[in-house]
Amino acid sequence: MTSNFGFLVLALVLVASICEAAIFNPISDSHRSAALQLFSVSDGSFGSLEETYEALRTFEVLGIEKKVDTRASTCATVVDTIGSPSSALKDLFHALRINGILKCELNDEAFKGIMPRIKDAINDSHSLLDYYYSIGGLMLIKDQTSEVAVHLGDADRIFRSIKALSQSDGRWRFSSNNPESSTYAAGLALETLAGVVSLASSEIDHSLIATLKNDIVKLFDGIEKYDDGACYFDEKIIDAHMHQGSLSASSVVVHGLTAFVTAAKGSLNLPGDKILGLAKFFLGIGVPGSAKDLYHQIVALACLENSRVSVPLILSLPATVLSVSTKDQLKVRVNTVLGSAAPPLSVKLMHIFSSGSKDASVIDQELKFDPENAVHVLETLPKNVNVGKYIFSFEILLHDPEHKKIYATGGRTKVPLYVTGVISVDHAEIAILDSDLGSVEMQKKLDLSGENAVALSANHLQKLRLSFQLTTPFGHTFKPHQAFLKLRHESGVEHIFVVGNSGKKFEIVLDFLGLVEKFFYLSGRYDIQLTVGDTVMENSFLHLLGYLELDLPDAPEKAARPPPQPVHPYSRYGPKAEITHIFRAPEKRPPRDLSFVFMGLVLLPFFGFVAGLFYLRANLKNLPKSTVPATFAMLFHLGIAAVLLLYTFFWLKLDLFTTLKALGFLGVFLTFVGHRTLSHLASTSAKLKSA
């Protein structure tokens, strides 16, 4: 029974979660396993050029070596796309991105061949996506070859053309014909303008750069935030086919931000807690269920890992459940979002919040760093920590002051923690009391750590009392989340009562005189069951204590009846009882010798018929002598013999339906061959008469 109680414990874990404290873990092997499943190879490729790049880029960030399987076919597609004069600008862009990862065999002439097409596309661009693909293509060519001169002579004009699509709130439009603004478009615009700055043959006007930085600050002013500190960019629905979710919009903004900060000179003053909040948002998703979402998550985290704005540091706990019974130690790990080692730092435990209380205990204790396992360890829990649910508040302190300009720690980090232990159950007893005087008429001790089988009896003028004490390993009184007493009648009717506590003692008294109506005046045997459980109680239990023979008065005429009990699915849909059918005794058969005599008498006419044919000298001269008519005549007689044989089998073993089916086929056969035979005989007879 104790194992079944795990369902109750699981439910309590869900109820006890606190939204203000959450645990964010860096990228793990679960993401690598998901990437191998989501980005599957079909016919030697990952799909389109865009899907192929997303798969290869995800594998590259996660360190998955799976490029060899598709390298040959993918590079062939890349070479064909770049060499084809009819390739779309979007396909050229993704082909160049793939080539940047796979390093396909492309010579400088291939890059020179697509340069005029891309530059013409820049001059003819009328939408943000046109600028994004063309400027991005030039950036990729610049990164992949040094033999081709890639620059923009009119960078200021292009910058202003793209900047004209910006909005006052930091978001952007996809085109001048579309009045709706988008956060996703803002990310694409930032990445595109970063490419313009990098490709400019002369320095961009400083006022344009300053204006763009101000737009970025406005964009971050409108960022959404969860209670646990996670931040994200919300995306309004612009168009059904162009709508992007919060994950993709936030990812593209992070990618564009890091690209612009890398390309532009100077610093960008953005709050570190918002950068850390974005990292928490991406990590809080866990492992996405689609390839596109996984790509956006991994690429955004890779950008934050190498960001020049702020590199987020993630504080995580290898274990959020500590057992005082096994003397577990509190361990804290600090890494970057991709799991890389953090710079030299210290971790302090600042406050401890007890569940259900706003008051905090000030600790201010530094954790000991274990260089071998790269974790910070709190060897012993504070004295005021008992078995229960807590929120621990940590603070990260960087050793090098210069690192404060590089890394974002986010101030204090709150994480939920469960301290569990084995709860002692003492002084358990069950008794039958007199209703008037309250004197004990029957009392028995209980061992709630083992088996019990008490047998009690009572009537409606008596009471049932159950009491016990719960103590934590530290000697404190423990109050579980659940303490129920259940009485189950032999008819299936159940009654559940909450066991209350008064001080150190848990006690419940059932006055049967006041419960006769609730018990529906049902006398008989009641099984007694006690349930005590909590998420932090390692020995939660559900025990059958025994039974109670209860004698209640007869029910009045208008008394409520017990509710109908649900039918168990097994009894409704399970196997039914075997049905035994008694057949009628077979009729008494005649003796064996008499049966043989009767059979001889039945066959006697047949032999008489044959003898008569010979005696009367039957005329067989009309039997056709030609090959075809003779064949049909023989088949006709064989068919008649088959019908007689079928009747014999029907008499011996066949049933009526099988016999009729076979007789139908034989009847059609006999009709055909009989008609041919009789037709031949009729024509022969007609010729003889005419002669």
Predicted confidence at residue 620, as pLDDT, reads: 65
Q: Which of 56, 57, 118, 58 is nearest to 82 (CA)?
A: 118
Alpha-carbon distance of 263 to 284, in angstroms, equals 30
Task: Give dist(CA 126, CA 307) in Å, integer.
Answer: 31
571 Cβ contact partners less than 8 Å away, ≥ 6 residues apart: none
* Number of helices and strands in the chain (H, E): 17, 25
Report, as ranges of residue numbers, the positions in the chain whose pLDDT lies below 70.
1-20, 66-68, 237-243, 356, 571, 618-621, 691
Type and span of the H or E element at 464 = strand 462-471
Between CA 525 and CA 633 the distance in angstroms is 88
Does residue 517 contact residue 559 with C-beta atoms inside 8 Å?
A: yes
Q: What is the token pair recorded at 506? A: 């848990």
Neighbours of 48 (CB within 10 A): 13
What is the distance between the alpha carbons of residues 458 and 525, in angstroms, rounded to a whole number? 10
Contact 320, 332 (CB under 8 A): no
Strands (E) across 472-612 are located at 482-489, 494-498, 500-502, 505-511, 524-533, 541-551
Is residue 671 classed as helix, strand or coil in its secondary structure? Answer: helix
Other beta carbons less than 10 A from residue 54's beta carbon: 24
Query: H or E element: which one contains 13?
Result: helix 6-15
Amino acid identity of residue 611, one-letter, is A
Using an 8 Å Cβ cutoff, are 478 and 536 in contact?
no
SS (H, E, C) 31-47: HHHHHHHHCCCECCECC
CA-angle at 647, arms to 645 and 650, nearest 5°:
115
* Residue 448 near residue 425, CB atoms below 8 Å: yes
By the 8 A CB rule, do 348 and 394 touch? Answer: yes
Q: Give the C-alpha separation, 546 to 457, whole Å.
A: 11
Rounded Cα distance between 301 and 122, Å, is: 30
Cβ neighbours of residue 305 closer than 8 Å, sequence gap 6 or more: 311, 336, 337, 338, 340
Cβ neighbors of 403 (< 8 A, separation 6 or more) are 343, 345
Q: Which amino acid is at 154?
A: D
Closest CA to 52 of 84, 76, 83, 88: 76
* Cα gap 548→525, rounded to integer Å: 6
Cα separation, 43 vs 171, in Å, equals: 41
Say if CB 420 and CB 322 are below 8 A apart: yes
Which residues are paired to 547 by β-bridges?
Answer: 455, 527
Per-residue three-class SS string for 603-666: HHHHHHHHHHHHHCCCCCCCCCCCHHHHHHHHHHHHHHHHHHHHHHHHHHCCCHHHHHHHHHHH
pTM above 0.75, yes or no: no
Asked if 676 and 626 count as a contact pair (C-beta separation under 8 A), the reply is no
- For residue 7, give the DSSP letter: H
Give dist(CA 56, CA 581) in Å, integer: 71
Q: Letter for the amino acid at 644?
A: L
Tallying the residues shown for the chain, one arrives at: 691
Alpha-carbon distances of 45 from 40, 185, 492, 581, rounded to whole Å: 8, 29, 62, 66
Taking CA 655 as the corner, what is the angle to CA 653 and CA 656, rounded to the nearest 5 degrees? 140
Q: Which residues, 6 or more positions from 594, have their beta carbon under 8 angstroms from its beta carbon? A: none
pLDDT digits (tens, 9 = 90+) for 421-460: 999 999 999 999 987 777 899 999 999 988 899 999 999 9
Q: What pLDDT was estimated at residue 67?
A: 54
Residue recorded with tokens 């019974």? 325
Give one DSSP letter per residue of 116-177, joined into a string.
HHHHHHHHT--BHHHHHHHHHHHHHHHHH-SSS---BTTHHHHHHHHHTTB-TTS-EESBTT
535, 355 Cβ separation under 8 angstroms = no
C-alpha to C-alpha distances, 262 to 157, 266, 523, 588, nearest whole angstrom: 21, 9, 83, 108
**In this structure, what DSSP letter does residue 366 have?**
E
